[in-house]
Structure 1
Amino acid sequence: MKLIPARFMIARARASGYLSSGGHIVETTSGTFGLALAMIAAAQGYRLTLISADTLIDRTLRCRLELLGARLEVVDDPDGSGAQSRRLERLQAVREKDAGTFWPAQYDNPDNCYAYGRLAEWFVRQVGQVDCLVGCAGSGGSLCGTAAILREVFPELVVIAVDTPPVCSSGHQSWPRKFG
């Protein structure tokens, strides 16, 4: 699912001149968006630096990312919270070192939502009237983006966001993640 916004954001950055051929991409990630970026970077010849926390990236995912050519920087996360502020500090240091670096900024980039326009169109072609959309919360990009487009056609659309606890964005306390 994260290939949709990753591909869209990279294409938009390329078209607008924010990312040049063979350029450098940097992003903070807990995994899936980083994996999507790694696949695109490998296929299209971009350099990629991903920043994560030691509690977010397991050995299997780390190996996959590195095999795809991503440079992975991992910060300590002693309290198991995801160390987002440390990750963002490291990301800024990478950007300052390499001024031409493109940061997709998945949580703040409106293209994260806009990328799902085609998915919304596909839903309408497949099922016609859409009354309710149920989806995972995650970063909110896929669900909100798809819902925003669908609501243009179906203003009464009901949206139900589903996520596993703890959902920190909903005010719940974070706890350490466990790798299976």
Structure 2
Amino acid sequence: MRRLVNRELSKARLQSSPGSVGQGVAVRSVIEGIAKTLSRSPRGSGLSWRIEVSPAAFIDLSEEDATELFGVLLDNAVKWTRSEIRVTSQSEHCRLRVDIEDDGPGVPSEQIARLGQRGLRFDETTEGTGLGLSIAADIIEAYAGEMTFAARLPRGLCVSVILPRRA
């Protein structure tokens, strides 16, 4: 309950200053910190992490928002992957694209378009509230970013996030 209240407070903060720019955050540092924490969890121990993000990749988000955003996305990847999570980045003009790929069961193509809808859960047997991806979408929207989902072949899911890049 506390997490939901804190998220609603964060959402109100984001809405009060739409399009605000953060101080600039090193993406690799945030992702490595989250991966280290998740690796110590029961689900995360024993997973292979491939983090291929440049140390010079900075995004214009606050550290709090970047940590929450990538925390949600990496936690989902840990929840569904079989053995490996791969995180890559690529600069695209004044934006940075971050791809998070897992080798889990993936999502049927007819359900991919519904990912990120608040409260939506495709598998009621796993823990969760169905709010994680909608929280990520709120953060991304506040910074004029984009989030897309695609099947990863031969299995798994790729979540792509495109955000303003810090020059």
Higher helix proportion (structure 1 or 2): 1
The structure that has the greater radius of gyration is 1
TM-score w.r.t. the length of structure 1 is 0.27
Higher relative contact order, structure no. (Cα contacts within 8 Å, ≥ 6 residues apart): 2
